[in-house]
Structure 1
Amino acid sequence: MYLHRLELRAIGPYPELVSIDFAALAASGVFLLEGPTGSGKSTIIDAVVFALYGGLAGEGSTHDRLHSQHADPGVEPYVELVFETGAGVFRVRRTPQYDRPKQRGAGTVRQQASAQLFRLASPADAVGEPVSSRIPEIGLEVTRVVGLDRAQFLQTVVLPQGEFARFLRAPGEDRRKLLQSLFGTQVYDRTADELAARRREVQAEVESADARVRDALNRFAQAAGEPEATEASVAGTLDALRVRAEDTAARRAEALAAADRARLHEHDVAARLEARSRRAALLERRRALDDGAARVETARDRLALADRAARVTTPADGLDAARVRADEHHRRALDLRTRLGVPIDVDVAARHADLTACAASVRHLVAVEATLDERRRAHADAAARAALLVERVAELDRVLGARPAGRAALVEEARTAAAAAGDGEAARAEVERLRRVRADLDARDAATDAVRRAERTVADRRIRAEELLRAEQALRARRIAGLAGELGAALVPGDPCPVCGATEHPDVAVPQDDHPDAAAVDAAADATRAADGALAEAAAVLAVERADLERLRAAVGDADADVLAEQVAVAVARVEAARAAAVRVAEVEQRRLAHDDETRALEREHTTVQAEHAVLVGTSAAEGERLDHDAATVSEARLRAASLAGSPWVAADGSATPDDRSLAQTVRQLDDLATRAVEVTAAESQAATAAQTVVERTAEVARALAEQGFDTVDAARAALLPPDRTTALQAEVVAADRERAVVDAGLAEPAVVAAADDLDGGPDAALDLEAARAAHVAAAERADDAVRSAVSASDRAEAAAGCAVEVDRAVRARDDTSARSRAIVRLADVANGATAVNPSGITLGTYVLMRRFEDVVAAANDRLRGMLGGRFTLEMSDEREVGSRARRTGLALAVHDHTTDTRRAPGSLSGGETFTVSLCLALGLADVVQAEAGGVSLGTLFVDEGFGTLDPETLDDVIGQLARLTAGGRQVGIVSHVEELKQRIPERIAVRRTAEGGSRVTTTV
């Protein structure tokens, strides 16, 4: 951490503003803060510590020494410090608690402490970014960015009077805390804590693994039926269960085979008896079929005759239907020719082709004929339109010639109005100025009223505060007067009196009924403080209101409201006149724009009319020629179509003569004639097709008669059967055939054939079904018993095998967990200083600090060898320091006196020796901390007093060591009144008392 700038006012002996530029002072590394004893040197260090931490440097120092007794009581005391750390540049400003005069009346009021912290872009940044204005938050943030709390700061950066040798004399445990924060070795303590937590976890895992082994053994014992099973007996028990399962499985196989043989014997006996019965039934059904065979054959023959007759009658029925259709189509064709007037000798197909070709050749001219009249009218209209366009062009030429004079008049009118509107901006500015003055007048009157109200509020709150103060003072006086009764009420017989020490209390004072307790006094004090705060708030409001009123009075001056109103009216009239002129300018401009738009529209119309006239003149002649040509073509086509429409069957239909019909009417007549020809052609085609069908059906009937053996169609129709009779005969034949097939198949079955051989070979008495069934039941019962025994033994063996696997798995997991936990437990015990494995009892964090502390002691000894004649060196010790009850930390210190070759406690050194050794230790600590990448950056060091105890030779050595320290870019400030130092250090801050009783500061760079 580096200090850049310190400002203070009304602090300690400094009533005026003091500004110290540490950056300029420390340019050469070492600067001196000197002055007579009691002049205020330590106050500057107190100001630095107060700015950072809100406290003072010296042990037991109070904040009462901060507010200067030499400054005006109304001046606010404050300290402002600009400093830089690895986190950035900051400015902190603090004001201590102090008593200031009341704004109304006599007496003082307590002003509470305040603080502000800003982050700066650079040390010269005068504004910065606000970080916080709350005292607790600022304390935490400063500790974070500096990396030290106040106690650590006093032992490493600022070494004030009475605090210089604390680190040297500190117990090992306190030294460990300081070193840990400086070197950032908390990670090693967290590592040890994490190892301890891991140790607890693995121990829990080992216990859990043992529990899992016990559970697995219990399950194995239950599955195997061995209550006393152990890890060693698991394998033997499992082998015995497997042997038993194999024996019962063999007995089960034998019993099942015997039961199967008995079942097959029973089934064979029952099947043989069933085959004998089935054969007898089938023989009886075959005899019945043989008796009805003749009747079935007769029915079969009758059905065959009817089937042949149906093959003849079906085409005969089709022939009759074809003859009826052929007659009908022939009559329809003759009727259509008669109805349409088509003579019998006319070739309709040829006439249809001529009509279609003629209609196709003239059909496109129907549309041309329909447009002839409209085109003639359009031609006449175009000629009339051309004449009108000639007249419009002449009129437009006259109008366009008069447009320039009108536009010149509009431009002149707009120029005149613009000149009148030019005064508008100045008039509006004057109106705004006068209105602001008027607003200030109104605000001045409102501020006057606000000041009166604020004065009344301050008076009321002052009266209230004085009343509450008198009430508090009265309560305190009453409580002090009745303290004897309060102490008497607290006495217990036999206990010593807190005043005289006697254990007998013959005349105990009794508290009065209205004696106020401490809570009442505190409540009154709180009410008084609240009233003082409210009074201060009202006074602040009054000060703001008065300042506002003075500002408004200065702004308004001697302005008069009536004169101001007249000026406003004149300025408003100027604004209105300018606004009207501006409106007139806009109107004239709009008229000019409209005039220009109208002129351009007339010019465009003139061009369009001329172009349209030229187009009309050019197209009218061409359209007249096309119109004459199309009329001649339509007339010729109408004559040609009318000549073809006069066909022989049309002359009698009463249609119009060719001269009276249009081309469209003639084409429609041609289309109608073609449609009639199509109808006649289709009817005659259908009649020819029907006649051909009759011929084909006649030949088909003749072939059928010959194939089926009938002479005539009538003979075939006589052989047909009614549908119900056919169905009955078919059912009889099908039933007989189905029954014959079933009987033949049944008699051919192997079991029925075997039954015939069985009857030939022996009597029925040889097949005893009941005996076979009884033997089957007995064998099945024996098989069930064997199966149950085998399943039970197999299930027990399988369950025991599964549980044995779980036991083996649990045992291996327990062994793995135990092996893994041993390393973790040992490492945790070593890191946490367990004496069983770590006889020194030093933890991992302390061990790391010891290595760092070795570097600190080595750096201190490097400087100490050149001081005090090389008499002393510092040594580390892991023993408890003298007078300390703390546990061993390995960070104890001893002083080796080379003169007597003895080890001494640091407290046995003299004043000068203590200062020198402590300074070397502090400088060594600063060197090592600065060199550590993760440590706190200590860029500034203050040494407050102690140099007066050194002889000149030792003083030379100390100054030399300080010069070595500044070679790394650090700042060292020496606080001393030793005269010899003034000759050695040119950069200094000189503090001198003044005649008024305060002190002043002079900086020499």
Structure 2
Amino acid sequence: MRALTLTMNAFGPYREKQVVDFSALGDESIFLITGPTGAGKTTIFDAMCFALYGRASGSDRDQDSMRSHFADEDETTYVDFQFELRNRQYRIVRMPKQRRKKERGEGYKEDPARSDLYMVTDGEEKLLATKIKEVNEQIEDILGLDYEQFRKMIMIPQGEFRRLISENSKEREEILQRIFKTHFYADLTDYFKKESSELKTEMNQFEWKIDQELSKAHWGMDLPEDPSSLQPEEYLELLSARLNSQQALIEEQKEQVKEQSNKVEKQQEAYQEAKHLDSLFQTKQKLEKENGELTEDKERIKEKGLQLKSAQEAQEVQPFEHQWKEKKQELERLQHSLSAKRKEKEDIQVAYRKAEAEFEKEKNREDERQTFKKQWEERQLEKERLKEYIEQKKKFEASQKQMDELEKQLKKQQEQKQKVMGEKDQLVSQVKEQRAIANRLYEWKSKLSETQEELQKLTRLQKESNKLTELRQTYHTFMTSYKQIQQEEQKMRGQYEEALEEIRSHHAYTLSRELSADSACPVCGSLHHPSPAAKPSTVPDDHQLDELKGRMEAAYARFQKSQGKLVEVKAEGESQRQLVDALKQDITSKDTELSERMITTWIRESMTEKEKHERELERIQKERNRLEANERKLEELDQQDQSLAESIEHTRSKFASLKESTVREETQLNQLLEQGQMDTIDPRELDNKIIQAKKTYEHAVSLWEDIYARYHQLRDQLQQIQASEKEIKNYVDQTEETVKSTRESFDQTFDQSAFASYEDYQNAVLTKPEMQQIIEEIDSFRTKQASIEGRLNDIYEQLQGKERPDLTVLLEKLEEEKHNLAELQQRLNEQTVMYQQNESVHIQIKGLLEDQGTLAKKYYDIAELAALARGDNTLRLSLERYVLAAFLDEILVQANMRLDQMTDHRYQLVRSDEIAKRGAQSGLDLEVIDHHTGQKRSVRTLSGGEGFKASLSLALGMADVVQAHAGGVQLDTLLIDEGFGTLDDISLEQAIDCLRGLQDGNRMLGIISHVAQLKEEIPAKLQIESGPQGSTVQFTFQ
């Protein structure tokens, strides 16, 4: 990536639009960014990084503080950055969230963050993305770098890489993790650990499941003498033999059930035939009774027939009567409507004549209304002239007041400038003394960080050890409860099986009562019966058996729940013990046994050491804060001094301009006074006159419009009513003729009917539903009578020569056979259930043993991987740290190539191979080889200048390695911020030579520095000037 142009508007210290055209460098590929402290040198870096990623270049800056404090309230903050990559040009415009003044009205509005990405081809721009998320994703795709990689490869901000040199191994790990994104390996380690723990828990669950299945088997008299001494495989062989004997007994019982089922079926058929014959006798009695009732109802049905005939004759006369009555009612309605219409016409005629007179009167007042309108318009014109006069007077008075304020302001600014110059002289001497103390800050921060890391590990070990103790106590509590519940379950199971045995004994006693001499036993077939079963003392019924079974199942459920909880607590305790062992190994070697007293002592010692470091660090930090405050204040005083000088000049210029405009305003005010006595007019009185004139005119217009509308409305209504009255009169005449003709038709039809009088006619009239009901009643009677007689004849034929059977005797015989069948079926079901349960146990145990073997192999593999990944090895090196160490080695190879040149072959950075004390993380500590002494020492012992060289070398090495791992991205721009002031002349020359080597391949290199020698060595400079109205930037060349 090569920068082409950078445009900033209202960004940071830059108030006005600033354009940095990097193409102006020409053949100069290295340039110096120079200017006063706080002028905005680092802001150049921030603008580039913000344009690309929406974030600043340094870790201590945020985008919410990017808007310039110098900017006007309506000015928009944005950055426009154009760059070239792989012979393609791109342009990105980004604006942060900002608060600006509204374009209309008062108050402020908050503009959301925005970004637009374009590709530029032959001067034409093609929009690629507008949404912030899409722009960020496309920038990463185009550059091949994310934000962290971009900062480390293209921008080297103040102090960022000093941290990589001076921080401890843990913090260096976090920096490398962010750059190389190695969190995947940490996630992989956690996955192996979790998978190993889960597999071990599953192994324990398999043992528990096998024990549970073994306890479900039914043995009867074949129970082994000592089942607990048998292995699961031996147990399976005995269970297979038990299944064979059970299957043979089940086949024998099935034959007995089949024979008894045939007996029940035959008895069932005989009972159903007798039941059918009995139902025929019952039906005969019922039909004979219904037939007698129908004979008694014949006379009533005959009367219904005569009533139906009269109603049918009346139905022929009825339509003529209905037609006459309907027309008569219609005539009465029309006559009433005609009377109402005539009354309405008279009322409207009176109102119309009154409205007509008002219309003529108001029509003649048009001139008066125009006069009212003219008076209203003249008053409004007078108000406009008065308003212009008042505004001009206020403007003149404000200008006079502002002139007085400017005179006071000028005097105050001159006094402030004298005060600022006195404060500057006092601060210069204080800053020199404080800088010497602040240089020890990094040394004490590193010591404190190491102590805090050690204290955190010890505190966590103590916490997890306490938790392990609590889990052990919980396990013992659950074990006691488990044994009690197990005894209760065994007791309930024994009671249930004892009840089953008593029921079996009762079945044997029932069979023995049917045995006789020389008769074969239905069970064994023997003809001799020396020991028949005795009658049991007590036999539980079905309700008692179900209750015992329910108690046994509830106890078994409690037993399973308790056993599951016990296994869960045991697994959790085992996992916690492994965690504590791992934490102990992380703190000390395997040969050292850590007691609780030793851990407490170490924690106390670490806390004391931590407090000591914190106190010293706090003292140095306070001194550094005072130094930073004084430096900032000194910069502020410089800016205030320059700003006050410019402000004084600005105030003088503004006063002269204001005086000139005040004279012009006074002249305009006098001209307005000459047009009329404006200063004698009362604005309120004038407003009241305008309101009154407007009301008078609007009232006159409104009155004329109301009268005009009412006159035409009444005229239209009168015409409509007159036409309606005429139409209704015609309808009345026509309806009178129709009433007369329909009456004559009704009289003629009635005379021709069979009715003697109109009263007989009315009595005969029935509604259609009433007539239909009579018809249905007659048809129903005839149908029912024919059906009953036919059914009786059929039954008489079927029952000829037969007697009614006795169903009670037959039913008792059937129930006896069913009872015998139920007893046989119950014995078969019990035996089948026990067989099925034993078969299920056999299958489950066999499957569990196979699954347990497969799981065990998988567990041993995963457990070994988990131990290796988490660093359970002699080097105390986890998988992620191993990968990070490889990256760090690559970085050191590249870094040492430059450090060797800048230190004249004296220093070489190496990764320490020592194992950290008390099991702390190892593998990422840095040391330096001093070839003058031939010994290794800590990088923290390097001086300020040596540390900068190491930091710069490491930063450049980091950029090379990240570039290589980012897919070979070509980077043609590199920016370095500060640090050269700590170098002597020779070291500075070596550093410049090293940086010049980076220009190979036309790479553009920008450096921020105040060092005078760099200003002499580098001809191209990006000069930044600060002022009271913000900073400006431009390229200069020697």
User: TM tier, shorter chain?
Assistant: 0.3 to 0.5
Larger radius of gyration: 1
* TM-score normalised by the chain length of structure 2: 0.38
